[in-house]
Structure formats: structure tokens, C-alpha cells
Amino acid sequence: MALEHMERELAGSHDFRHSNFVDILDGVMKADDSNWKNHYHGDGENLRLQRRYSLLDRARYYLPNRFAQGAVNTLLSNLERAEIGLPLLSQYLPRSFEKVRRGELDTSPKALLKDCVRNALAPYSEACFRR
């Protein structure tokens, strides 16, 4: 989602078709509620917020969907053609921003995406290897 926020910011100075990743992913989730209906509760707006921002992160089950993958591919392609500057990184991906400043990470969209996944998985990895 952070990458799409950066894509939106960069769209004004670049000629590309917006990925609409977040909306497409939400549409895929609404079309098949089997992976989230037992975990999210409430009315329409409450469910929309949970699908997008829940700590349960049920969205991961929908990423292999062909429509979601198409949006991811468009998003990454768009960001490959744009320069993701430090101000956007600082705003939307502060952990990655610090790694870029230290020279530990480049600003390619795939590198940033992989870093986000590593950051999300780190607590699980640490929990598995605690003594």
C-alpha cells in the first residue's frame, strides 16, 4: 500500500496508467470472502477498513489472484520508471528509508517491496528463534 501511495504522488510527473492496487485487491477480497469473513466483523465501512488495514492481514491470501498480480506488476513497472526520492521514502517507508540512507538498500521498487516483507516477517522469525 505504501508503494501505491508513492505511485500516486509520482503520477503527476510521469505518464503511466495507475495500478489501483489497493482498490483492485479490495475488490478481489470482496468477490471471495472465504479468507476473511470469519475474522472481520461489522458493517460495510468497518469491513473495508479491516480488509485494508487489519493486523490480521488476510489480504496476503489474495495476492496470487491474477487481478491482484496484474496490479502489482503495473505498480512495480510504474515505479521502475519513476525515481523514488528520499522524501517519499521517509514519509511512506521510514524503516526502508533508514536502510537506504545507511547504504544497505537501494530504492528499486522490488528491493523496497522485499524489504517490507522482511520487516513484516522479522517478528515471527525472532519469535521462532528465541531461546
What digits encode the pLDDT tens for the residues 55-109? 778 999 999 999 999 999 999 999 999 989 999 999 999 999 999 999 999 999 9
- In order of 17, 48, 54, 89, the CA distances from 107 in angstroms are 21, 30, 27, 9
Report the pLDDT value the prediction gives residue 106, as an integer from 0 to 100.
Answer: 95
Q: What is the CATH number of the domain that holds 8?
A: 1.10.400.20
Report the pLDDT value the prediction gives residue 116, as an integer from 0 to 100.
Answer: 92
Number of folded domains that form the chain:
1
What digits encode the pLDDT tens for the residues 105-123? 999 999 999 999 999 888 8
Give residue 131's pLDDT band: very low, low, confident or very high (50, 70, 90).
Answer: low
Low-confidence winner among 33-37, 51-55, 84-88 (lowest mean pLDDT)? 51-55
- Find the Cα–Cα–Cα–Cα dihedral 13, 20, 87, 98, rounded to 10°: -140
Give residue 10's pLDDT band: very low, low, confident or very high (50, 70, 90).
Answer: very high
CA-CA distance, 38 to 117, in Å (whole number)? Answer: 25
Give residue 124's pLDDT band: very low, low, confident or very high (50, 70, 90).
Answer: confident
Domain that holds residue 108: 2-128
